[in-house]
Amino acid sequence: MRRALFPGSFDPITLGHYDVIKRGVKLFDEIVVAIGVNSEKKYMFSLEERKRFLEEAFKGEPKVRIETYTGLTIDFCKEIDAKFLLRGLRNPADFEFEKGIAHTNSKLSEIETVFLLTAPETSFISSSIVRDVIRNNGDYTILVPEIVRVNSK
């Protein structure tokens, strides 16, 4: 089975994340969308909310499973027997950042990283931009899946 892990904080899930996952489903037998838990990070949405957003966004997609994890991403890959990491790239800065992580992961494990370019219409979206728009009472609805629009703070 070709299982890929798509890790992130998903605070919140954006249309960019959604697009990469939907396109990744065509490449893998299963995608495990994994919410990384970092106790030192301050989140806008609780872990339960983020997990619910993802579960609702992909409730009709049997090839997508939602999990949470702590620790090293490659350790979680081994735990769930994922041979691939799926990552989205928006711009050259993302590539440079992700390249270093991918090289480190390949030195520490046999996990292969697969990059998908984000769609042009979502390439400007990041969770931090969405959070900033929400904090400032802006219209964030064109940046996130419907489940986030309906249930955000």
The secondary structure of 28-59 as a DSSP string is: -SEEEEEEE--TTSPPSS-HHHHHHHHHHHTT
Kindly state the helix (H) or strand (E) to which residue 153 belongs, with its residue range.
none
User: Does residue 103 carry a catalytic annotation?
Assistant: no
Q: Output the pLDDT for position 117.
A: 95
Q: Output the pLDDT for position 152.
A: 63
Q: Which two tokens stand for residue 123?
A: 């390439």
* Region class of 82: left (phi > 0), else alpha (psi between -120 and 50), else beta: beta
**pTM value?**
0.93
78: helix, strand or coil: helix
Residues shown for the chain: 153
Binding residues are: 9-10, 17, 41, 73, 87-90, 98, 122-128
User: Does residue 3 carry a catalytic annotation?
Assistant: no
User: Does residue 106 carry a catalytic annotation?
Assistant: no
Which one from 26, 41, 42, 107 is the annotated catalytic residue? 41
Binding residues for ATP are: 9-10, 17, 88-90, 98, 122-128
Q: Output the pLDDT for position 82.
A: 97
Going by the DSSP 8-state scheme, the letter that residue 90 receives in this structure is -
User: Does residue 17 carry a catalytic annotation?
Assistant: yes
Q: Output the pLDDT for position 39.
A: 77
| Parts of the chain with a pLDDT under 50 | none
100: helix, strand or coil: helix
Q: Output the pLDDT for position 153.
A: 52
Domains and CATH numbers, the chain: 3-148 (3.40.50.620)
Which one from 52, 83, 90, 149 is the annotated catalytic residue? 90
